[in-house]
Structures are given as structure tokens and as C-alpha cells.
């Protein structure tokens, strides 16, 4: 499996020749020029994960790409005339022998007066789990975890507890685009999780990494 991070929570994952893009949001733009995509997965409707303008740019370069998401994001895409298929909690689809499973239904609480929107995590081929904006436990072994490290809805203690509950073999930092120094977001998790057998993988922006 190969992973390229474009920034914040936007990732390109290549598994068995299938190219999957996660969350093309407003905190990154390198994804706009990517070609030969097969699938786009969008976890939720917040602009840092779902930027309609970025998606339109991507579609120009990838007119046959398939978008999978939930009904919350679907309402946003409907307004833009962008086609998609629903893939929500408990559902799965297979593309060229690569399995995509959906887990979870809610965004983590930011504050009690802020509406709790829909959020869906996606598991790729029993290898990489990307929870979106919540600490979703898929209830099975996770070899590689995209670990949220900085957000209005989390504390680092919650990130560490979540990682220990999942206990992946490998993890990398996600949801860190709001940090002045993204490395700061992975410092404590790397220090505390490595001794527990969870190896940290640093993803350089725009650089493909094999995991």
C-alpha cells in the first residue's frame, strides 16, 4: 500500500493498483492536479474535508472517478450537481478486488450548541482505517491508522486513548492542517505510542510513502 498526504486530512491511497483519494478539502490543493483516480471517499461535509471547488477541479482530470460518501455530504454535492454513491455505516463496496468498508455515523461533538453532523470512517482492504472526525472503532484489527491529532473537537489525551484502543501496527498523523508546525501534533503520540508497539510513520506532504 502506498500513501501520499496532500495536507491536513487529504490522502491518496494506492492499493493493488486502485487509487483512492480521501477528503479533498480546503486546507490543501495538491489534490486538484492528481490524475488516474478510481475512487473519492468523503467522510463529512465540513469544508476542510469537502471542498466543492476542489472536487470540481479533480473531476476535470478524472471524469470517470466514483465518489462514495454519506447523505450529509450528498446534500452538499447535490447543490453542485456532482454525482456520488452512498456508502454509510455498515455498508461496503468492492472495486477491482479492493474492499472499502464504512463505519460510524456521527461527527465528534465540538460543542453542545453546534449541530452534530454525519461522519463516516472508511476502511481500505483490511489495511488502512481513516475515521474522519471521530474516534470510531471498527471493532477489528487495524494495521494502519490515520490518527487525528489536532482539532476543535479533540484533546491529545483522547487521541492517545483512541490509538491505544485501536492499537494499530503503524499510524500517521491526520487532521493537523490547523497547526503552525504539523510535527508538533505527532510529537506526544510518537513519544508515547512507539513503546507500546505502534510505529509512527511521518508522511511528508506530496511524497509517496510505502507502508
pLDDT of 121: 98
Q: What is the pLDDT along the chain (211 residues), one digit of tens a residue?
A: 999 999 999 999 999 999 999 999 999 999 999 999 999 999 999 999 999 999 999 999 999 999 999 999 999 999 999 999 999 999 999 999 999 999 999 999 999 999 899 999 999 999 999 999 999 999 999 999 999 999 999 999 999 999 999 999 999 999 999 887 888 889 889 998 999 999 999 999 999 999 9
- In the CATH hierarchy, which top-level class contains the domain 2-210? alpha beta
Write the DSSP string, the chain: -EEEEEETTEEEEEETTEEEEE---TT--GGGG--S--EEE----STTT--HHHHHHHHHH-TTPEEEE-HHHHHHHHHHT---EE--TT-EEEETTEEEEEE---PPPS-TTS------EEEETTTEEE--SS----SS--SEEEEE---TT--HHHHHHHHHHH--SEEEEES-TT-SSHHHHHHHHHHHHGGGT-EE----BT-EEE-
Q: What is the pTM of this model?
A: 0.94
What pLDDT was estimated at residue 73? 98
Amino acid at each position: 500500500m502506498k500513501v501520499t498526504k496532500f495536507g491536513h486530512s487529504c490522502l491518496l491511497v494506492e492499493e493493488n493498483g486502485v487509487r483512492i483519494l480521501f477528503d479533498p478539502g480546503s486546507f490543501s490543493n495538491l489534490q486538484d492536479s492528481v490524475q488516474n483516480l478510481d475512487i473519492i471517499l468523503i467522510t463529512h461535509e465540513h469544508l476542510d474535508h469537502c471542498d466543492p471547488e476542489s472536487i470540481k477541479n479533480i473531476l476535470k482530470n478524472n471524469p470517470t472517478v466514483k465518489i462514495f460518501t454519506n447523505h450529509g455530504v450528498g446534500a452538499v454535492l447535490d447543490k453542485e450537481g456532482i454525482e456520488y454513491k452512498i456508502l454509510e455505516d455498515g455498508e461496503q463496496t468492492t472495486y477491482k478486488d479492493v474492499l472499502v468498508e464504512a463505519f460510524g455515523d456521527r461527527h465528534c461533538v465540538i460543542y453542545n450548541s453546534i449541530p452534530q453532523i454525519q461522519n463516516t470512517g472508511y476502511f481500505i482492504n483490511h489495511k488502512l482505517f481513516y475515521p474522519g472526525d471521530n474516534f470510531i472503532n471498527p471493532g477489528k484489527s487495524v494495521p494502519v491508522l490515520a490518527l487525528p491529532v489536532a482539532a476543535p473537537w479533540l484533546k491529545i489525551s483522547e487521541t492517545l486513548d483512541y490509538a491505544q484502543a485501536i492499537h494499530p501496527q503503524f499510524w500517521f498523523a491526520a487532521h493537523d492542517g490547523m497547526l503552525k508546525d504539523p510535527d508538533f501534533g505527532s510529537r506526544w503520540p510518537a513519544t508515547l505510542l512507539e513503546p507500546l508497539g505502534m510505529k509512527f510513520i511521518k508522511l511528508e506532504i506530496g511524497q509517496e510513502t510505502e507502508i
